[in-house]
Chain A
Amino acid sequence: GQNIDQPTEMTATEGAIVQINCTYQTSGFNGLFWYQQHAGEAPTFLSYNVLDGLEEKGRFSSFLSRSKGYSYLLLKELQMKDSASYLCAVRDSNYQLIWGAGTKLIIKP
């Protein structure tokens, strides 16, 4: 079967750095996405990785290792507005997205 695993909840302090991990087992791989979802709102696109390595976009970076079936999202200089759920999704061989259950990130002052 297909499976995406990520921690259910994480807590971090304002101004700090946090790493959210995602491991996956899917039938085929055509890219990995990270989305942010604030409570009661729609998911919004954060990043995309299809090759191994690090993609940096401002305070957010995403890393991929295809051989290990592993990705992480790194958030730097945390702000209170970063409190949200972070969703990992893999595009499979049918070009459909398989979604993890999401990691709820709580930022404390």
Chain B
Amino acid sequence: IAGITQAPTSQILAAGRRMTLRCTQDMRHNAMYWYRQDLGLGLRLIHYSNTAGTTGKGEVPDGYSVSRANTDDFPLTLASAVPSQTSVYFCASSAVGGSYNEQFFGPGTRLTVL
């Protein structure tokens, strides 16, 4: 049972480079999310998807894009990385329509942009 996997675990990236963070879940959850977590701040939502084929913007979407071609995968792309995108990125998923619908998190990707 894997739950949610993310790749890579960590990455150092030169500013201006393109980078895709991968996220895969095997729980058949409809909803998926990308967050960034910075010291002293709460988790901030970047983009989300309520079901395959649809995506939406969260609190801090600028500089990021996502796609949701199928239920399991939800990649996050930084088109041209900048140092302010240095952060820990978490992917999460949740069921829809239940009572709690709590979010389950992947292990995170630690990204450093130089």
Contacts and interface: CB of A to CB of B under 8 A. Distances in A.
B2 interface: no
Given A33-B102, A48-B100, A96-B58, A43 B42 contact: no
A41 B44 CA distance: 17
Interface residues on B, range: 10 to 19
A29 interface: no
A106 interface: no
A37 to B, nearest CB: 9
Contact of B102 (A42, A48, A87): A48
Contact of A99 (B40, B43, B104, B106): B43
B100 A42 contact: no
Contacts of A96: 45, 48, 58
A4 to B, nearest CB: 7
Given A87-B43, A96-B45, A44 B103 contact: no
B42 A44 contact: no
B106 A45 contact: no
Interface in B73-114: 90, 100, 102-108
A42 B43 contact: no
